[in-house]
Amino acid sequence: MKFNFTSIFAFAKKIINPQRGCIGNALRESEEMCKLLFECSPVGLSITDFTGKILSINKRALKIFGYKKEEILSITSKNFYVNPNDREVIIQKINNGEKIHNLKIKMKRKEGKLIDVEINISPIKFNNEKHLLSVFDDITNRKIAEKKILQLSRGLEQSPAMVTITDTDGIIEYSNPKVTEITGYTAEELLGKNVNILQSGQTSKETYEELWDTILQGKVWKGEILNKKKNGELYWDSEIIAPIIDNEGNIINFITIREDITEKKKMTEELIKAKDKAEEMNRLKSNFLANMSHELRTPLIGIMGFSEILKDSIKESELKEYASMVYEGGNRLLETLNLILNFSKIESEKIKIDPSQIDVVAFIKRIVNLFDKEASMKNLYLNFESKLEKLILEIDEKMLKDILINLLNNAIKFTKKGGVTIKVSKTKENKFFEICVIDTGIGIPKKRQHLIWLEFRQVSEGSSRLFEGSGLGLTITKKFINMLGGEINLESEVDVGSTFIVSLPIQEKTVNQTSEIVTDSTNTY
């Protein structure tokens, strides 16, 4: 509590000076009452001589400095000062006839803690001798509160956001400089006006009804409102409106924090338009690729068919080799066209999941067997291992086939020695089944592993790339896996090999049986 030191100081001098006021003759009649007033004063009072010896001190002063009354006899007022020279300066000023009024200095308590004190000191007559009367109070908490108030007020004044405070009827009681900067209204023009002075008339009535319903319930409202400046220009506000509630739980004011988001809204609209345009261009590209794939694939199938016939029927070795080259080149081109077609369908969102019930263990085993010949030609082993004898799932059979073919094709392509192992199992929680494709191939450096999932990207690129391919296989594989609700992860080390782990969800109606591990190994050395 802040007291009027001037009046208290004057009253204290009257109490103590036997020549004035209530003391005079009344002192002899009411000495006990004056003592009581001294002791019960809401501020600290002390009487000292000019050397600092404490002649009298009240309870409030003892509490401020943390001493007991019996301890006062062994100290002087110098103990209260952080810097003893402060007291000497004060004594010198008093001797020069100066008054010490409302002086704010740092003092210290018994335990050494520093406190802020406001002090008044004046010479008085006490027992016919000249002494010093000090009236002081601990203003530490007040200074902290004042600092907080200053911080809050400066924060509001210097805030980059618009801040207004209204009463419960929406009448503006405060607006910060940012409001003036954005709206063109001065603080004086807004003071006492209803906050609807900023309304554009283009925000729906329902929005304002929702706003008021929310804040009158003591809740915070957030939203965007189209407002109007003083010059009539419209602008968008992002607003947060919160009630200010007193200690009794009553709403006494509303504070609104606004941000001008006009430019952000324009940028967002432009980005949406750009995104729509990019998506349209992407759809056109995908449609073009799909059409071109169909146009190229139709004659290519004929070329491959006749080249295969020639390859098998021609006896002359040189011509037979040419026919084989035509067939292999056509096969490679057909594979690339199929990948582009799949990719374009995904991009144009034309691929739909078509689930059917299959035994995935038997299905995966059949796909693996398709690569026996290819692995054998490179002297690689090709192993299939399953911890499940049977696992019936509802899944898109074609997508699963493409996933397996892409992974197995890559594993064999990038493996020069050793081989490839395919493992099938279920997770411990029985929520997913896993397909692991493990090779002993060239491996992928960690810093380039992210590239393999990007369309038309490869670990080795440009004119120096070491392996053929379009760079679409793993991109399509990952997209198919995501469409099926699963995920794919990679563990790889250069010159050691790679492991691709595919996790696909097990549907609730799945019927499965488990048994001991079943191993089917085809050693092609």
What is the DSSP code string of 242-293? Answer: EEEE-TTS-EEEEEEEEEE-HHHHHHHHHHHHHHHHHHHHHHHHHHHHHHHH
Q: 12 and 95 in contact (C-beta within 8 Å)?
A: no
pLDDT at 316: 84
Query: Does 242 or 455 have the greater pLDDT score?
Result: 242
Element spanning 157, H or E: helix 140-158
With a CB cutoff of 8 Å and minimum separation 6, the contacts of 5 are 43, 101, 102, 118, 120, 135, 137
Q: Which amino acid is at 490?
A: L
Taking residue 143's Cβ as centre, other Cβ atoms within 10 Å add up to 14
SS3 379: coil
Are residues 256 and 172 both part of a single domain?
yes
User: Cα(140)–Cα(147) distance, rounded to whole angstroms?
Assistant: 11
Mean pLDDT of 368-395: 90
Is 107 within the bounds of a domain?
yes
| pLDDT over threshold 50, residue 424 | yes
Domain boundary among the residues 230, 260, 290 is at 260
| pLDDT over threshold 90, residue 32 | no
Is 144 within the bounds of a domain?
no
Are residues 368 and 309 both part of a single domain?
no
Q: How many domains does the chain have?
A: 4
Confidence of residue 374 (pLDDT cuts 50, 70, 90): confident
Tell me, what CATH number does 301's domain have?
1.10.287
Is 103 within the bounds of a domain?
yes
Query: In DSSP terms, which residues pair with 241 in a beta bridge?
Result: 221, 256
Are residues 340 and 215 both part of a single domain?
no
pLDDT at 461: 42
Domain boundary among the residues 139, 174, 196 is at 139
Are residues 77 and 172 both part of a single domain?
no
Mean pLDDT of 41-45: 90
b/e per residue 363-387 (b: at least 16 CB within 10 A): bbbebbeebeeebeeeebbbbbbbb
Domain that holds residue 500: 355-522
Is 147 within the bounds of a domain?
no
Mean pLDDT of 163-176: 93
Mean pLDDT of 385-413: 89
Mean pLDDT of 406-423: 91
Confidence of residue 467 (pLDDT cuts 50, 70, 90): very low
Is 221 within the bounds of a domain?
yes
**DSSP symbols for 485-521:** T-EEEEEEETTTEEEEEEEEEPPTT-EEEEEEEEEEE
Confidence of residue 509 (pLDDT cuts 50, 70, 90): very low
Alpha helices in 198-238 (DSSP H): 205-216
**Shortest CA distance to 41 belongs to which of 19, 60, 54, 22?**
60
Q: What is the mean pLDDT of the chain?
A: 82
Is 334 within the bounds of a domain?
yes
pLDDT digits over 310-333, tens only?
Answer: 878 888 888 888 888 887 777 777
Distance (Å) of CA 365 to CA 55, 217, 389, 390: 105, 65, 11, 11
pLDDT at 510: 40
Are residues 31 and 86 both part of a single domain?
yes
SS3 17: coil
Confidence of residue 306 (pLDDT cuts 50, 70, 90): confident
Confidence of residue 463 (pLDDT cuts 50, 70, 90): very low
Query: In DSSP terms, which residues pair with 228 in a beta bridge?
Result: 234
Element spanning 359, H or E: strand 355-359
Mean pLDDT of 54-69: 91
**Shortest CA distance to 480 belongs to which of 343, 288, 284?**
343
172-178 long-range contacts, Cβ below 8 Å, gap at least 24? 172/197, 173/253
SS3 235: strand
**Shortest CA distance to 501 belongs to which of 450, 454, 436, 421?**
436
| pLDDT over threshold 60, residue 465 | no
Distance (Å) of CA 469 to CA 25, 340, 455, 461: 116, 12, 12, 10
Domain boundary among the residues 260, 293, 317 is at 260
Is 151 within the bounds of a domain?
no
Residue 503 has phi, psi (to 5 degrees) of -115, 120
pLDDT at 87: 87
User: Cα(153)–Cα(151) distance, rounded to whole angstroms?
Assistant: 6
